[in-house]
Amino acid sequence: MDPRFINRELSWIDFNDRVLALATEQGIPLLERAKFCAIASSNLDEFFQVRVAALKDQVAARIEEPTPDGRTAAMQLGAIAERVRQFTSTQERIWSEQLAPALADAGLAIVTWDDLSAVDRKALTEIYEDRIFPVLTPLAVDPSHPFPYISDLALSIAALVRDPETGDQRFARVKVPDLLPRLIPIDETRFLPAEELVIAHLGSLFAGMVIDESAAFRVTRNADLTVEEEQADDLLEAVEMELRRRRFNRAVRLEIADSVGDEMLDLLVRELDLHPNDVYRLRGPLDFRFLWQLHGQERPDLKDRLWPPITPGRIASGLEAERPIVSVMRDRAIMVHHPYESFSTSIEAFIEQAATDPRVQSIKMTLYRAGGDSPIMRALIRASERGVQVAVLVELKARFDEANNVNWAKQLERVGVHVIYGMAGLKTHSKCVLVVRDDGDQLRRYCHIGTGNYNTKTARIYEDLGILTCDDDIGDDIAKLFNHLTGYSRDDTYHTLLVAPRDLRPRLLELIEREIAFGSEGHITVKANAIADAEMTEALYRASAAGVRVDLVIRGISCLRAGVPGLSDNIHVRSVLGRYLEHSRIYRFAHGGVDGEPHYLIGSADLMPRNLDRRVEVLVPIEHPKHREWLDTVFEFLLADDIVRWELQSDDSWLRCGAPDAFEPNAQTRLYQWVVHRQGIKSSQ
């Protein structure tokens, strides 16, 4: 093992441990704590669908190349299995000892069939007979009925069914239909898991048979797409075909009730072609995502107090003066910080105004994740229908959003939008919009460059930054970028922007080296989702050795070790979690600018090999003093000594710091209050 690096996959599990830890924070309202338990389960599902599946593919292909920390794929799978068992055990304990009792005390009890009275059972049996029994399909396995296909993440019931006359025993599977709510309301305060109701009535599905055993289970499958872009005549068609095939990808995990017998478990493992290490026997409920249903209850007393987003000050002033956003942008660039500041009254409004503006001649944008119902996509459709030249680069390979993006691509093409599907071998992850407008005196380019997706739903819960500008140099660079992405332009020399994969890595390394030249006066501050790139990590180790202070605010993965004597003495890594998902990327180099002034960058790129080498990413410099002040304030809150945060220790563990019995002060509360105060709005906090 290489002691200079932490394993990427194990660091991700550390991150999910921190998410789960939020379910135990007494200072967080109860239903929000339950939500974090659900989020941790969703995270783990995706981890198996993508990361574990990829490692299994490597093992199958006999790829032995180790990771920077020195582990082969097989070694990682073994370590992952051990850590995930620890995670699920902790999650079950949090549920049984903390969340479930507290929810019951608050009038939201999850009960079992055995807990119910005869009256309750009779009422639920009527519900079962009227609404559930007609849609159930029992599938038995015998010489004429092969083992049934079990879809990804579907909740199922496994049963051993015996003929009382012949003694013959058969395996059967019953899928709990997706159309059912996971929790069946008994009354306003009690809920029964749907699988309990189905198991209690299995006899109705196998009339005259004896149910010897039953257990709920769930299968996770490889969810990655394999698209050979160079060989695909039609990338859209190829992605659609892969989406259909994905349903039948190999199984990578089996979750099953701990009560299952060996015979039934052995059959499932054999038929699903799994290894015993892929089996997770659970004592608590399967799939804690059902807690989202509880979170949807109208119980404001058990949820976070709402933080209404603020319309950015200069946009609000423009609205009062009936000035469109482009008019405000001509005075000076606008920086926006979501969700503290409203996405709908800034970025959405900018695009919607452009779509109806008779002076606008063209709109171009990159689309990574727009979601299912997008005001921005509808605005682009309207613009195209009235004759504006609209071009959208749709990233069809945005994981788990492929189907949404295929759908939007088709809708856009139907109304005449120029739809481009990216560059072969690269994902387009940058977040850019270019609007060309005839202002009378000249054609002017209006741009948005951000850290987050053009997605209305996630913009309410993901923390992100963006810049709205009509700066000539940035506009020229964005125009070159789109020409490079949509055509065959070889003019990809950018004067202002940092664009991956060609320029971003060398420029960041150059900025680190420049800071090293200042020794102990140097200071590098980075906020990102992850740092997993070995070359960047080594560069930061060199900076530490030279005395440069390195402060990293990393939400998720950190393969870099912090505070290790002789390696990373001057590197400090912390993770800040809360009601919003910290998603923005900010880079600050204390001496990276002209004449040794600070240099600030924001954009779409994390410090990971995929972002630096295999994606089109964009970072934009932040020049205006007020915008830099804003970024400094963000760092001030995130790096404060008294906030609740997790700090990476020299033994690679994460230590929760801050007030032990409260979730305040935290950086997000302080930032929201600061934004409200700047706008002169009375805060309810």
DSSP character at residue 4 = T
Which two structure tokens, joined as six digits, stand for 256? Answer: 């099953």
Determine which helix (DSSP H) or strand (DSSP E) holds 292, and give its type and residue range: helix 291-295
Secondary structure class of 297 (helix, strand, coil) = coil
- Amino acid letter at 355? A
Q: How far apart are the first and last CA of the chain?
A: 49
Element (H, E) at 431: none
DSSP assigned state of 303? S
The pair of structure tokens assigned to 356 is 């109806």
Residue 188 contacts residue 22 (beta carbons within 8 Å): no
Told to judge if 429 belongs to the known catalytic residues of this protein, a careful annotator would answer: yes
Q: What are phi and psi of 569, to 5 degrees?
A: -55, -35
Question: Which residues lie below 8 Å from residue 644, measured CB to CB, with a gap of 6+?
Answer: 578, 656, 657, 658, 659, 662, 663, 664, 665, 666
Q: Could you give the CA distance from residue 492 to residue 480 in angstroms, rounded to a whole number?
A: 6
SS3 assignment for 622-634? CCCHHHHHHHHHH
Count the neighbouring beta carbons within 10 Å of the beta carbon of residue 115. 13
And the tokens for 122?
Answer: 């009779």
Q: Count the alpha carbons within 13 Å of 411 in the hemisphere toward its beta carbon.
A: 16
Quickly count: other Cβ atoms within 10 Å of residue 120's Cβ.
16
Give the chain's largest Cα–Cα span. Answer: 92
| Residue in this structure with the two tokens 């990655």, named with its chain if needed | 224
DSSP letters of 579-640?
SSEE--EEEEETT-SGGG--EEEEES--BSHHHHHSEEEEEEE---HHHHHHHHHHHHHHT-
Tokens for 682?
Answer: 């009375």
Neighbouring residues of 632: CB distance < 8 A, sequence distance ≥ 6: 588
DSSP 348: I
> CA-based Rg of the chain, rounded to a whole angstrom?
27
Residue with tokens 């059959």: 267
CA atoms within 13 A on the CB side of 506: 4
Q: Which amino acid is at 196?
A: E
Residue 239 C-alpha from the chain's centroid = 21
In the set 295, 337, 338, 429, the catalytic residue is 429
The single-letter code of the amino acid at 242 is E
- Rounded to whole angstroms, the Cα distance separating 132 from 136 reads 7
User: Ramachandran region of residue 440, left (φ > 0), alpha (ψ -120 to 50) or beta?
Assistant: left
Give the Cα separation of 396 and 409 in Å (integer).
9
Residue 63, classed as helix, strand or coil, is coil
**Based on the number of CB atoms within 10 Å of its own CB, is 552 exposed (0-12), middle (13-18) or buried (19 or more)?**
buried
Q: Give the integer Cα–Cα distance in Å for 609 and 63.
A: 19
Query: Which is nearest to 136 in space by CA: 179, 165, 95?
Result: 179
3-class SS of residue 596: helix
Element containing residue 210 per DSSP (H, E): strand 210-221
CA–CA distance, 617 with 503 (Å, rounded to integer)? 10
Just list the catalytic residues.
Answer: 429
